[in-house]
A = this chain, B = another copy of it.
Amino acid sequence: MGNAKFSFLGQSESPARLQGKIRQFSVVIDEPLELGGTDLAPNPVEYLLAAYAGCLNVVGHLIAQEQGIVLKGLEIAIEGHLNTDTLFGISNQERAGYQSLLVRLSPETDALPEALEKWLHIVESRCPVNDNLLNTTPIKVVLAPRLVAEAV
């Protein structure tokens, strides 16, 4: 593919719920009741974990194939901790986002531990979402006129 572009377009349905479109797919993002939402879908920081895990699955299989490792299965667990005080304006002592992330990969394979450590290292270095979370990314945020009309 080389250079690729990905995009998302969404409309707010309530203060915490966004109805989005990604190619032919509809995606709903919400918040649980205790975070002010209607709990119809995972929340933004949960989708961030799903994106990361999905990426590790793709790259995990790609690198396994390159390294001659047979993956009979792969389980991925990610957890992250954040403090909501900055989000809610209670204090600005903590960063707004995840303070750290713990990723656990459980490959079902007969590969040796050293081969798996090497695999893990390459997976981390070539996973797009890992890169965007681990490193800084230039972002431009602008105000715009109506957007949904352009997508119809």
Contact = CB atoms under 8 A, between A and B. Distances in A.
A110 to B, nearest CB: 14
B54 A43 contact: yes
Chain A: interface size category:
35 or more
Copies in the complex: 2
Interface in A59-117: 59-62, 65-66, 71, 73-89, 95-108, 113, 116-117
B57 A47 contact: no
B59 A87 contact: yes
Contact of A87 (B62, B71, B148): B62
Interface of A: 1-12, 15-18, 20, 22-23, 25, 27, 29-32, 34-37, 41-55, 57-62, 65-66, 71, 73-89, 95-108, 113, 116-117, 120, 124-148
